[in-house]
A and B are shown apart, each in its own frame.
Chain A
Amino acid sequence: MSLTSTLFILLFYFSVSIFVIGLTRKIIQYWRTPAPLKIPIAPAPQTLPKLYLRMFREVFLFESLFKANKWTWFFGWVFHFGLVLLFFRHLVYIWPGELPEILLHSSPLRYAAFPLILGLLGLLCRRVIVDRVRYISSPSDYLMLILLIAIASTGILMTFFHNHPNILSVNNFIQGLVTLNWSELPEEGIFLAHIILVLILVAIYPISKLLHAPGVFFSPTLNQVDNARKKRHISSGNLDIEMNENEQDLDNNN
């Protein structure tokens, strides 16, 4: 086993552990923290199906952002949409065993890298150019975009300008991580850079603003049904209320 491969194996375990443990802890924390009062923000859905519809529009279409600012929406949406497509495309690298039919035809998805990087560059420009957004930006906000741009650039370089490593050998490496039957990682420089950047991203996920992805589902302004008069809202935090037992329902049935 080469030194590089050994280091990367360790790095993989390290980053993924932080990701899984950190994210799980955060999600449990969000889950357990009570939402003592009904605070849905208008236009608030009055029924559960409408609530799901609202969450769908927020999560997949960024509806509120669309209302707020068309440029930010456009760059943000294009970036995230590209991300989803590329995530799907990358399944070929980690899929255990025989690839499903659909993944065999996923190669055109690689072009999603272009809207992705366009979106990122747009967001970066906006952060630099608009005085209000510049004011609220910390170094980490720029670095996050730069990190993502670097990941996208190395990916684009490999895919469109260099030969990227053999899918099978990468897949083998990943399977080796899972089965503890480690194998060598291809050692092309750009590829290794791509991997290391992704591992950094994965490792900082639970300690950064990337928590917005799981967090949006826990946002009480978005995830509550507007029915406070009809159904008493009790969260485990309403400790002072005289309740009978059956009323202490779990945290969040909305």
Chain B
Amino acid sequence: MSDIKVEKLKTYIETPSIEIDSMKGVGPFKANKETQEELGFPGEKVDNWKEVAINKIADSVSKYRSVQVFLDICVKCGACTDKCHYYLGTSDPKNMPVARQDLFRSVYRRYFTFAGKYFPKLVGAKDLDEEMLDDWHNYFHQCSQCRRCSVFCPYGIDTAEISMAAREVMNSIGIGQKYSNQILGKVKKIGNNLGMPEPALKDTLLDLEEDIEQETGVAVRIPIDKKDVEVLLVTPSADFFAEPHIDGFVGYVKVFHQSGVSWTLSSYASEAANFGMFIGSYEVMRQGALRIRKAAIDLGVSRVIVGECGHAWRVAYSFWNTLSGLGSGGGDEYALQLQRQLDKRYPQPQHIIEFTYDLIQKGKLVFDKSRNDHRVVTFHDSCNIARGSNMGDIENGQFILPREVIKATCSNFVDMPIETIKVSTYCCGGGGGLLTDDLIELRVKGALPRMQALKQAEESDAVNTMAALCAICKSQFSKVLPYYDFDPYMIVSVHQLVGEAIILDKESKSKN
């Protein structure tokens, strides 16, 4: 544990006074030449970077209505100023959503608006210079794109859209973030964020099958690249090896075993996560989505199900249909093929929670809740699921379904304070491409509001387990919980709870 000053948790979340420049710095490590070029960005900062950047800004405002409108219409009412977990945790005023947007907006005004061109001081328009660029790299990597600010903005202004646009501008001039861009390179080359090649993946799955059999006495299969099965499961690759993710993965495997539904993983599309969203690149994001479309078509599946991952679910739920036609109603060649292939009785794509919830509703899963009796469980709503997706196609389904699954498998469930969950949930502090050691101070501080809420739940209800549905949340919490005197193992996958309570039949009804 590195030496980061952590404030003692209070009993409620307090809005701090501003401390100017408290998080000023060089930002996360920058990507090297090779990494940048792999993604088609300039290898290093281009000579005429200012000109290129301004052209890219022009391009962004002409391509994204969100960016154009949001830059124009903010009235600086201040509603968002106390809503960002990074502001609450760091007191740096540039971490207030509006001030973060203003790093972009002030430049936009300077070069693209009448008032900013002729009266820059009056309207807070600023030149794009080295200092501003440094602030961009630093502060646009102190935004986890969680969209909490947008919930409270009277115009729905979404800082995530601005920070994505800013990162895209920076990439276009050769300044990329090492962590995100390296990972994207691995996906492009190998197919998953870990860069885990097919043989290693297959070995891991075999080991896991053995582990499960040893533990439960039931031979549970984990099929991969199996053709003409019903379901293709696409899950974040962290599920294959990281703690506590892997126990959640075991949970899915057990659910599939019990469900009797034939399924497979794909070694070609072995990644649900899509960091293309974090760097604001529509094209990179689309490439990720197309891998999954290809796998679905090649394997001839009739359903695509997505594992526990926050932003992946937003991309799958909200964007896949647009990006690749994986959904309903598309008319292009691939979309039509998918329409013929995909089973219309189910939403496409579907979340693993929707799958498990349906089985529970139909009485197909039997649980021994007492196996989870040592736990008092609370649920951390992951931002991208909470604010950018739905489950079950019912209003607030993304909040209801996971809680129902937990309640079906655990006797003791309590929620954290209402202003910190569901639509108002606080980010774990590590989302949006910030889950990297070079940003550990930010990650610890950004977790403060969630930690405070957890503290409240611990004090009032003796909560000792926090379940989540996002690979990033799980990794982030494992790392930062100890800074706040919590047990790092208290963070679990929702499907870990499922996996622990589920009663397995010896034989799967599935034809796998």
Interface residues of A (CB under 8 A from B): 26, 29-30, 33-39, 41-44, 46, 58, 62, 64-65, 67-69, 72, 76, 123, 126-127, 130-133, 135-141, 143, 204, 207-209, 211-212, 215-216, 218-222, 226, 228-235, 237-238, 240-244, 246-247
With A136-B99, A137-B76, A207-B114 already in contact, the answer to whether A41 and B319 are too (CB < 8 A) is no
Q: Across the interface, do B283 and A240 meet the contact criterion of CB distance under 8 Å? A: yes
Closest 10 CB pairs of A and B: A138-B124, A215-B73, A221-B156, A68-B152, A68-B79, A133-B78, A132-B81, A222-B156, A212-B73, A65-B154
Instruction: List, in ascending order, chain B residues with CB within 8 A of A69's CB.
Output: 78-79, 152
Q: Across the interface, do A41 and B321 meet the contact criterion of CB distance under 8 Å? A: no
Q: Across the interface, do B322 and A234 meet the contact criterion of CB distance under 8 Å? A: yes
| Distance between Cα atoms of A64 and B107 in the complex (Å) | 27
| Distance between Cα atoms of A241 and B63 in the complex (Å) | 15
Distance in Å: Cβ of A245 to nearest Cβ of chain B: 9
Q: Across the interface, do A72 and B79 meet the contact criterion of CB distance under 8 Å? A: yes
Distance in Å: Cβ of A42 to nearest Cβ of chain B: 4
| Distance between Cα atoms of A26 and B72 in the complex (Å) | 10
Q: Across the interface, do A242 and B333 meet the contact criterion of CB distance under 8 Å? A: yes
CB proximity to A under 8 Å, residues B58-112:
61-66, 68-70, 72-83, 93, 96, 98-99, 102
Q: Across the interface, do B157 and A131 meet the contact criterion of CB distance under 8 Å? A: no
Q: Across the interface, do A37 and B79 meet the contact criterion of CB distance under 8 Å? A: no
| Distance between Cα atoms of A237 and B322 in the complex (Å) | 11
| Distance between Cα atoms of A44 and B158 in the complex (Å) | 14
Interface size on B, residues (CB 8 A): 79
* From B68, B70, B282, B331, contact of A36 by CB (8 A): B282
20 contacts across the A-B interface (CB closer than 8 A): A33-B64, A34-B64, A38-B319, A64-B79, A65-B154, A68-B154, A132-B82, A135-B18, A136-B76, A136-B99, A140-B122, A209-B73, A209-B76, A218-B69, A228-B318, A228-B319, A228-B322, A229-B347, A232-B322, A247-B330
Instruction: List, in ascending order, chain A residues with CB within 8 A of B156's CB.
Output: 41, 58, 64, 216, 219-222
Instruction: List, in ascending order, chain A residues with CB within 8 A of B78's CB.
Output: 69, 72, 126-127, 130, 132-133, 136
Apart from A139-B121, A141-B75, 15 more pairs, CB < 8 Å: A33-B65, A43-B396, A43-B423, A46-B395, A69-B152, A132-B93, A140-B122, A140-B123, A219-B157, A222-B156, A226-B390, A229-B327, A237-B63, A241-B323, A243-B331
Q: Across the interface, do B327 and A228 meet the contact criterion of CB distance under 8 Å? A: yes
CB proximity to A under 8 Å, residues B292-326:
317-319, 321-323, 325
Q: Across the interface, do B113 and A139 meet the contact criterion of CB distance under 8 Å? A: no
Distance in Å: Cβ of A239 to nearest Cβ of chain B: 9
Instruction: List, in ascending order, chain A residues with CB within 8 A of B396's CB.
Output: 43
Instruction: List, in ascending order, chain A residues with CB within 8 A of B386's CB.
Output: 42
Q: Across the interface, do A41 and B147 meet the contact criterion of CB distance under 8 Å? A: yes
Distance in Å: Cβ of A26 to nearest Cβ of chain B: 7
The interface bits of chain B over 146-162 (1 if a CB of A lies within 8 angstroms of the residue's CB, else 0) are 01001111111110010
Q: Across the interface, do B63 and A36 meet the contact criterion of CB distance under 8 Å? A: yes
Considering the complex, give the chain A residue whose CB is closest to the CB of B150.
A41
Q: Across the interface, do A36 and B335 meet the contact criterion of CB distance under 8 Å? A: no
> B130 near A: Cβ within 8 Å?
no
Instruction: List, in ascending order, chain B residues with CB within 8 A of A29's CB.
Output: 68
Q: Across the interface, do A37 and B63 meet the contact criterion of CB distance under 8 Å? A: no
With A215-B72, A237-B63 already in contact, the answer to whether A140 and B325 are too (CB < 8 A) is no
> B332 near A: Cβ within 8 Å?
yes
Q: Across the interface, do B323 and A64 meet the contact criterion of CB distance under 8 Å? A: no
Q: Across the interface, do B99 and A135 meet the contact criterion of CB distance under 8 Å? A: yes
Instruction: List, in ascending order, chain B residues with CB within 8 A of A44's CB.
Output: 390
With A35-B64, A219-B155 already in contact, the answer to whether A141 and B76 are too (CB < 8 A) is yes
Q: Across the interface, do A229 and B18 meet the contact criterion of CB distance under 8 Å? A: no
Q: Across the interface, do A221 and B93 meet the contact criterion of CB distance under 8 Å? A: no
* From B15, B151, B282, contact of A67 by CB (8 A): B151
Q: Across the interface, do A232 and B328 meet the contact criterion of CB distance under 8 Å? A: yes
Considering the complex, give the chain B residue whose CB is closest to the CB of A208.
B115
Distance in Å: Cβ of B185 to nearest Cβ of chain A: 21
